[in-house]
Structure 1
């Protein structure tokens, strides 16, 4: 087959290449580039085409292999290889160090606020805070249960007001 005959036959099959390229790439510009690359490879390797075989299938095979090669290159280019030492434990919970400074400030502010609270509200609140039930506090302080609940509520409101910066 002469170069002119080969060029004519490839040109007649090139209209079938674009839809296939578009299905592979999902982008019109990339599809046009793929068709162009396929035709360039077909023309530059025309001596490898065995006359009498299916030229259309040969062109589709060139296109598919070109697309796969380009895709693999793109994936390799976008692959990030971590060459650092094994620092995977940096964000793990095991490597965290407890910093007690903040909790110390909170504790000091809480103690100050409690000291400034009237004792009739502070005592029921502290007992409740330590785990006593309402009826136990009521019996211990010899107060009605409603009064205990009210005093704990008032103590919470005052503490919330005094410790607003931690809200």
Structure 2
């Protein structure tokens, strides 16, 4: 009999849970799904609820954990939502690599412009893009740090002028 009473109390808090979902999402469908998942988990595991404790707090914890787990799952899968009529989920690959034919040409063009710099600018610039700190470049080239920063800045400016079409 006690489990029926707990089930009724859980179902009775449905509207409160719906309001609580606004902390996590503004999407109505996602909100409804979150409430349903929370209620389902609570009803399935109501034997784990301890009598004379805060039922609402227990439900809020289940909801928060469900939201976090769903968020992490979607992040791992790198899924984006297709807003078409059928609402399919599509896997999206990262295109941060330079594997496209056009990007290979751009990459070569950029490096041609970099290599065309005057040697006075090229050496500090290459050292900088290879991870050397300003003071390390200054020590190695026996230059003041201000001069190193200026030359790197000038190298960037010249490269940007040559790459106005990109």
Q: TM-score, normalised by structure 1?
A: 0.49
Higher helix share: 1
- Rg larger for: 1
Which structure's relative contact order is higher, taking Cα pairs within 8 Å and 6+ residues apart?
A: 1
